[in-house]
Structure 1
């Protein structure tokens, strides 16, 4: 829930050391994001540099908001759809974005479903430094040191929970005293400050809850190998929000966004008093 810099001899890396990610799944050259121009006036960038800067804005908007249509990107960036599509074509050719069919909730209307554009794994990696390989190796070492098998899995789970709870301790002051209806939004803001580009919104097609969406995950590649990281995070969400939550999708499993369903709590429900208390074992696990 930032990258491993140095692990002390004989010890485990600190919480911040697992945050940056960037493991490239396939061996090869990593896609490179264009650098945004900074100079103005007489030193203003050439047209080509401006194009690179705009493409980076397009990619960043997808990172912050999740899979988006060309129309949505045009509205957010105040560009024409034609201009956005040209940049998307270039980004797709560079392996930074890919087109997908938009997921439809409820009954589907007539016509073809809208096309959305999502960051590829390489596109996400381009926003971070490549420290995740060391994180994965550290977790593998923990797993082997505990004897592998169920013992190794339990050791990794214990580490994941300890790490998640340390991070949750920093969120406890933000969450304490908030009414239930404000907690998901507060948690999303806290997660965004830690690089998760999180949002909270009403769940589609239901008034029974909200969706906590994380459009970026600094440890997505480590979580792909060690799902205990996602499970521990979900448990901590349940503790912080004071309710059972269910993980519906994760970036680690190839989804476009990490999505957690948060059922609405009745007004007047007491907020969690201690984020570091023992988490519920019933927190939802990604069904994928």
Structure 2
């Protein structure tokens, strides 16, 4: 599996100073420029507002917007309106910022995407869809073995196993995290080493989803994928129904919610 590589900024402070203004100073980390730290946060969190970014980095609204303006100009991020569920206050929704595909490519190593895509096209022509599915299953089998070994002490609870799986996937370069939501839990992968290939061959995503289901120990539902243009690969893990003393379900319903947009 490909690992996430180090990020490289365009200048020491990570943003272009405006004409007649001094360069922004670099707060915090001595290893990453501010711009690299913004990129890393967007990679880890997906769509994020300027206020959230500034708060996480300890920057003023003016400073973080200066960095974002430079990244917008260079095509590293795009701005979208934040989707708000339910009732909201007056005024337009806040803007969220998302890494572009070009910026994502610089966050990892994708040197063999074209070769991999060509190989899968050849497999599809020679053996059809079944051959592509078999190839995809074979490719994720070793990942499944490594993750299963890393989850030996996770227990049987699906949400606890999802947390352990997130740690194992992060070690593989997926920048993953797990969280609890109203309808159960979700596993988010903020980086996909094969996004370009999976955009044409969704069998790779499907095989990975089956692996997640087996490792977590319950049915899961893939809600979003980076390969199809979403900011994060999001997998929903339904809440387990509570049992009554007689062993019958309590009647609780499970609903699926989309949290990546």
Give TM class, smaller chain: 0.7 to 0.9
RMSD over equivalenced CA pairs, Å: 2.7
The answer for the alignment partner of 1:282 in structure 2 is none
What is the alpha-carbon distance in structure 1 between the residues aligned to residue 115 and residue 24 of structure 2? 37
Contact (CA 8 Å) 2:4, 2:174: kept in 1 or not? no
Residue number in structure 2 paired with 1:114:
94
TM-score (norm 2): 0.78
Offset of residue 76 of structure 1: 1.4
In structure 2, distance between residues paired with 1:158 and 1:36: 45
User: What is residue 233 of structure 1 aligned with on the other side?
Assistant: 208
Quick one: structure 1 residues 76 and 36, their matched pair in 2 at CA, closer, same or farther if it must change by over 3 Å? Answer: farther
Find out whether 1:184 has 2:165 as its counterpart.
Answer: no
What SS does the corresponding residue of 1:138 show, helix, strand or coil?
helix
Aligned-partner Cα distance in 1 for 2:216–2:208: 12
How far apart, CA to CA, are the structure 2 residues paired with 1:37 and 1:90? 14
**In structure 2, how many angstroms separate the alpha carbons of the residues matched to 1:213 and 1:86?**
29
Residue 125 (1) aligns with residue 101 (2): no
Alignment deviations for residues 170-217 of structure 1 (CA, whole Å, 9 cap, x no partner): 0112323424131111111111111111111223xx2x2111111111
Contact map agreement 1:65 1:197 (CA 8 A) in 2: no
| 1:210 equivalent in alignment to 2:188 | no
The equivalent position to 1:62 in structure 2, one of 42, 49, 68, is: 42
Return closer, same or farther for 1:105/1:211 CA change in 2, 3 Å cut-off.
farther
Tell me, what secondary structure is at the counterpart of 1:262? strand
Alpha-carbon distance, 1:104 to partner: 2.4
Do the aligned partners of 1:202 and 1:210 also contact (CA within 8 Å) in 2? Answer: yes
CA distance in 2, matches of 1:58, 1:76: 9
In the alignment, structure 1 residue 165 sits paired with structure 2 residue 145: no
Deviation string 1:98-136 (CA, Å, 9 cap, x unpaired) is 101222234444332121100011111122333211111
- Unmatched tracts of structure 1, length 5 or more: 3-18, 22-31, 39-45, 147-151, 269-288
Aligned length: 227
Tell me, yes or no, if the aligned pair for 1:36 and 1:50 is still in contact at 8 Å.
Answer: no
Equivalent in the alignment of 2:219: 244
Match of 2:84 in 1: 104
Q: Deviations over 1:241-262 (max 9, x none)?
A: 1110001111111111111101
